[in-house]
Amino acid sequence: MMELKYSPYVLYADDDGNVFEDNSLYVVGRTGFYAKPIPKEDFIELPEGGSLYTLPHRRGVGIDVETGEMRLCDKGWAVAAFVPPARTSLYFASFMNEEEAPTLPLFCYTAVGWYEGQFVVPAARIEQDIRQECEGFDQEIVEQGIVEMRKRYPHNRVVDHLAENCALSYHCPAARNYFMGRWEAPIPSSPACNSNCLGCISEQPEDETIISPQDRLGFKPTAGEIVEFAVDHLETAPFPIVSFGQGCEGEPLLMWETIRESIIQIRKFTQKGSININTNGSKPDAVEELCKVGLNSIRVSTNSVQKWLYDPYYLPNNYEFEDILESIRIVNKYGGWTSLNYFVFPGLTDSEGEYQALRQVIKDTGLKMIQWRNFSIDPDWYLEKLEIEDTSETMGVKTLMQKLKAEFPDLKYGYYNPPMERINGNFELDFARV
């Protein structure tokens, strides 16, 4: 935590994307519809791997250093920050849209300020695991791994997809970790989905102005393709995990028969590591079939644990909000690990209604972990699409985290799926040694 003597200054950008500080204005944060001063203790230096965005046709909001009044920065365009994984953003950037402001692409727009030569952001390091620290990736080793795995599995469409699309085009950290032979390996398996998330990163409706940053997987892998590289990874990687359900596919539970067969075959060859599924949790019956054959862990994604906020975002096909909670209950019943992949929207996530609903879900389902994820979405577009006209008084994301931890001391916080070494052993692993 930084010890700031004063609030950081607002940043603005010119038409060429050059960024400047405006030292007549202190930076503020956005929560829901409202601009708010940010407590100094909430700032951290923008970590390596972070980046800045110019927000087109948007003016930043700040507090006048002299008058203490909130006003717009009219020197240039608003600026926001991308906060790298393992840190949870506590406030959106605060800005006012001009008439012609286009919808922003699917990134997370965190407040950012300038303080004594540094970019600083209101965020909290929620995960000590270093698996996606950008300084930990070596592209040369990734490319060597790609050559080696393609030679080892010449006819494997999944390995080819992970190489060509995920590691080399999207620079997906999970795929790059796989080709570096470590930690969590992705297993995309489903070209289809039974949700229609507004912020889907693998498929967006033709008539939508925003585009999905990845293309949806175009084939259905066989269990054979999955098993041959998954067993090898579980056997050889440190802290090994294989995870079904990735950003470049639809919903893996729609491929549950293939996944079930894969788990059966994998466990014939190795008992090592964790077999995890990242999912929308829509099919609890399928989840039970996977638990019966050895699924170790589930991560259920959601923008909210309130149906009135869930339904207009996920637009579910043939399943109900309650089904996702039932999927968590079932994995707990079989002794598996259960996480919520929780998209944090300051102004909604930290509302009293969401807090009370979250308490109930934790009690009812026995949830073991919350992964506090930054919500990659244009906040105005999201509020408009969910037809939210006002956001109530909020407690602050940090306070929400503290209140839940006080009531549920065994509830774990993080950003990534934990390996078996953390699930069964010391959850607070010393990652400096990994």
Does the protein bind ligand SF4 through residue 251 (CB under 6 A)? Answer: yes
Q: Please, what is the Cα angle at 91 between 250 and 172, to 5 degrees?
A: 35
For 176-218, where are the E strands, in sequence order? 184-187
x/- mask, ligand SF4, residues 322-361, rule CB under 6 A, reads ----------------------------------------
Q: Of the two residues 202 and 339, which places its CB atom closer to ligand SF4 in the complex?
A: 202
Q: Of the two residues 54 and 279, which places its CB atom closer to ligand SF4 in the complex?
A: 279
In order of 44, 51, 82, 123, 302, the CA distances from 47 in angstroms are 8, 9, 10, 10, 26
Least distance from C-beta 212 to ligand SF4, angstroms?
8
Report H helices in 270-336. Answer: 284-292, 307-314, 321-333
**Could you tell me which stretch among 36-44, 189-197, 332-340, 351-359 binds ligand SF4 (CB under 6 A)?**
189-197
Least distance from C-beta 341 to ligand SF4, angstroms?
10
Q: Of the two residues 35 and 197, which places its CB atom closer to ligand SF4 in the complex?
A: 197
As beta bridge partners, residue 330 has: none
Least distance from C-beta 55 to ligand SF4, angstroms?
24
Q: Of the two residues 200 and 210, which places its CB atom closer to ligand SF4 in the complex?
A: 200
Is-contact 216 191, C-beta < 8 A?
yes
- Owner of token pair 């916080």: 413
Q: Of the two residues 278 and 297, which places its CB atom closer to ligand SF4 in the complex?
A: 278
Bridge pairing between strands 92-93 and 412-414 = unpaired
Q: Of the two residues 197 and 242, which places its CB atom closer to ligand SF4 in the complex?
A: 197
In order of 60, 173, 247, the CA distances from 165 in angstroms are 36, 12, 12
**Could you tell me which stretch among 28-36, 190-198, 330-338, 365-373 binds ligand SF4 (CB under 6 A)?**
190-198
Three-state SS annotation for 16-65: CCCEEEEEEEEEEEEECCEEEECCHHHEEECCCCCEEEEECCEEEEEEEC
Which tokens in the block code for residue 166?
A: 């995920």
**Could you tell me which stretch among 188-196, 224-232, 285-293, 344-352 binds ligand SF4 (CB under 6 A)?**
188-196
Q: Of the two residues 280 and 306, which places its CB atom closer to ligand SF4 in the complex?
A: 280
Least distance from C-beta 246 to ligand SF4, angstroms?
9
Least distance from C-beta 194 to ligand SF4, angstroms?
7
For residue 423, the tally of other CB atoms under 10 A from its CB is 18
Does the protein bind ligand SF4 through residue 423 (CB under 6 A)? Answer: no
As beta bridge partners, residue 185 has: 242
Which residues inside 193-232 make contact with ligand SF4, applying CB under 6 A? 193, 195-197, 200, 202
Report the Cα–Cα distance between both ends of the chain, in Å, rounded. Answer: 24
Q: Of the two residues 177 and 280, which places its CB atom closer to ligand SF4 in the complex?
A: 280
Does the protein bind ligand SF4 through residue 250 (CB under 6 A)? Answer: yes
Which tokens in the block code for residue 377?
A: 């979405």
Is-contact 327 289, C-beta < 8 A?
no
Q: Of the two residues 78 and 106, which places its CB atom closer to ligand SF4 in the complex?
A: 106
- What is the rounded distance in angstroms from the CA atom of residue 171 to the CA atom of residue 369? 27
Which tokens in the block code for residue 276?
A: 């995890």
Three-state DSSP state, 220? coil
Query: How many residues belong to the site for ligand SF4 (CB under 6 A)?
Result: 9
x/- mask, ligand SF4, residues 139-178, rule CB under 6 A, reads ----------------------------------------
Q: Of the two residues 132 and 302, which places its CB atom closer to ligand SF4 in the complex?
A: 302
- Owner of token pair 């944060």: 29
Least distance from C-beta 376 to ligand SF4, angstroms?
11
Does the protein bind ligand SF4 through residue 376 (CB under 6 A)? Answer: no
Q: Which helix (H) or strand (E) holds 362?
A: helix 352-365
Q: Of the two residues 76 and 316, which places its CB atom closer to ligand SF4 in the complex?
A: 316
As beta bridge partners, residue 342 has: 302, 372
Which residues inside 253-292 make contact with ligand SF4, applying CB under 6 A? 280
Which tokens in the block code for residue 182?
A: 């470590």
Residues contributing to the site for ligand SF4 (CB under 6 A):
193, 195-197, 200, 202, 250-251, 280
